[in-house]
Amino acid sequence: MKYPLPLAMPLVLLLASCGASPFQVSRASHRPPPTQTLSPDLAAMYGAKPDGKLTIPAVPPRDLSEAKKRVEVTYWTSQPVGTIIVDPGMFHLYYVLGHDKAIRYEVSVGKQGYGFSGDAVIPYKRKWPRWTPTPYMLKTTPKLDDPWRNGMPGGLQNPLGARALYLFRNGKDTLYRIHGTPYPWTIGHATTDGCIRLFDQDIVDLYKRVHSGTKVIVRPPQDSGKGTFPPGAPVPATVLEARSKAIDFATKGPAPSTGPASLSGMPEPSGSASTGTTSTPPGLQTASG
């Protein structure tokens, strides 16, 4: 099966991949769960976190659950320790620990999150990354033209959140990002646009583990759930269902009830959000903005 959104898609679509316009993100189509009391460890893990001159806000209780918690799980893989495996179809990202263990993070996936699959590396990362709307977004969203034509500095309202990891393949920027978000209600849901988002508390944790050259594997829809059950075992019905939904979503987009229908994502173009070059930098760069 051919991947429905190949890396060779038109550049304007790739440039409409990561981040989300502050004017276009809404809770309107996301039904929050009933008010809940968080366990002490969950509340502490996703509480407010001082981060230099800024403080990452606590994730609201209605946007959290034990299922979304960052946690060590059994994960069958032969990939080396430190590999990141992104499973968009299951809304999970795994950091491989070895001996069939991994740290699992809950993620949000936009349609462009299915626009890349296979292997990549992370040559550099950013704290509080700068976000720049593309010419296409400036044309279609005039409100962005005046304040952010030249970019939005990193900060609490920045669509890329507290951290961003940049994926390259064969020395070239894939324009695929793993990043935080100021919109925690999107985590665990399919959204109209975007790459891979984590809670800011989780992207900070992952950021600390990443080094120059970290390997990333992004699973295509037909491989959703791989590693969550033993090799050779029958594929669980839940995984088969997730694969079917992922393939359908990658082709058609999300159903109206799956997440914020008003999300429209734009990344930082490679020349303004990174080092201004499309070649792999010699070392891991961590400067902000």
Amino acid at the residue 178: I
In tens, the pLDDT along 48-101 reads: 999 999 999 999 999 999 999 999 999 999 999 999 999 999 999 999 999 999
195 in Cβ contact with 110 (< 8 Å): yes
pTM of this prediction? 0.80
**Predicted confidence (pLDDT) at residue 118 exceeds the cutoff of 90:** yes
The domain segmentation of the chain, as residue ranges, is: 11-26+73-273
**What average pLDDT does the segment 128-136 reach?**
82
In tens, the pLDDT along 154-189 reads: 999 998 999 999 999 999 998 889 999 999 999 999
- Find the range with the poorest average confidence among 49-53, 126-130, 131-135: 131-135
Region for 223 from its dihedrals, namely left if φ exceeds 0, alpha if ψ lies in -120 to 50, beta otherwise: alpha
**Predicted confidence (pLDDT) at residue 254 exceeds the cutoff of 80:** no
Homologous superfamily (CATH) of 11-26+73-273 is L,D-transpeptidase catalytic domain-like (2.40.440.10)
* Greater pLDDT, 192 or 135: 135
Q: Kindly name the residue from 30, 92, 179, 189 that is annotated as catalytic.
A: 179
Mean pLDDT over each residue of the chain, to the nearest integer:
79
**Predicted confidence (pLDDT) at residue 208 exceeds the cutoff of 70:** yes
Q: Which two tokens stand for residue 18?
A: 């990561």
**What average pLDDT does the segment 205-233 reach?**
96
Active site residue 18: no
DSSP string computed for 222-259: GGTTTTSS-TTSPPPHHHHHHHHHHHHHHHH---GGGS
Amino acid at the residue 281: P
Q: How confident is the model at residue 7 (pLDDT cuts 50, 70, 90)?
A: very low
Handedness of CA 24, 135, 193, 93 (dihedral sign): negative
**Cα separation of 187 and 181, whole Å?**
9
Residue 125, pLDDT score: 97
DSSP tag of 60 = P
Q: Kindly name the residue from 18, 30, 92, 195 that is annotated as catalytic.
A: 195
DSSP-derived pairing of the beta strands 118-127 and 101-106: unpaired
- Find the range with the poorest average confidence among 99-108, 205-214, 234-243, 273-282: 273-282
Nearest to 130 by CA among 156, 146, 147, 152: 152
